[in-house]
Structure 1
Amino acid sequence: MAIKARLGKLSLPDNPEPFILEQLAVNAIEPLAVSMRHALHVYTLPDFHRDPFDRLLIAQAQLENLPIITADPQIASYPVEVVW
């Protein structure tokens, strides 16, 4: 989120931490830590998407059976549920 905000692709308050913490609570979202299992799963993914961070999100979604909220059409090339 911070990278997207710095690139002008996401609008966040000047101090985003309180906003993000509030949104996590309001929407009952629990952060998911990156595990070694997630990192190693990235190696098994086909090269449809070249962004390493997006590939890590795909690995987490696959292993944890979670949807990905994104407008990135390349992510839909993987067997994950895409919401947007």
Structure 2
Amino acid sequence: MRAPWPDRLLRARRAHRAPQRLNCGRRRSVADLDAVVTDSHALLFHAAGGRGLGLKAAAVFRAAEERSALVYVPMAVMWEVTLLARAGKVNLRRTARGFFDDLFTNPAYQPFDLTREQVVAADELRFNRDPFDALIVAAAQELALPLLTRDAEIQAAGVVKVIW
């Protein structure tokens, strides 16, 4: 039986803010992260078995599956995945609703609501012309968490910490 979900992560999940980092007197690996925000392609690679994920991103998803890390899923990711499935670009093997219902049965995956502040921040980001990228980065900024992405434009912009 799995250990109960750590109280510190439950409190952070409820508050939609970054949890306090634990300092155990050792260097922490990427798998020791408490929480991250995911980009659409990272979530889809994970759902497809992990092929295509960077080593660090794969370690974070493993930690989430073991319930030792939180992965926030911005509404922009949910909408982008839904549009990709509708266009036939990805096969979720079920409806988008079923995909996300299944995902969110694991409390390590949390939807993150779109806020007015994110929309305004996304409008001010000028690193590319993709509105989904801007909204996802704005969500990571609002939560003050790293973003799981391999997107070169996001990495080059330096507007959020990137893990891949």
Please indicate, yes or no, whether the TM-score normalized by the shorter chain is above 0.5: yes
Structure 1 match to 2:149: 70
Aligned length in residues: 82
Gaps of 5+ in 1: none
Residues 1:33 and 2:121 are matched in the alignment? no
Larger RCO: Structure 1 or Structure 2 (Cα < 8 Å, ≥ 6 residues apart)?
2
- Compute the displacement of 1:7 (Å): 4.8
- In terms of Rg, which structure is larger? 2
Indicate the residue corresponding to 1:83 in structure 2: 163
* Structure (1 or 2) with the greater strand fraction: 2
1:68 Cα deviation after fit: 2.2
Structure 1 residue 74 displacement after superposition: 1.0
Structure 2 counterpart of 1:43 = 123
TM-score by length of 1: 0.76
CA distance in 1, matches of 2:99, 2:145: 23
CA RMSD across the alignment: 2.0
Q: Give percent identity, aligned residues only.
A: 29
Structure 2 residue runs of 5 or longer lacking an equivalent are 1-80
Q: Tell me which stretches of 4 or more aligned residues in structure 1 moved more than 4 Å.
A: none
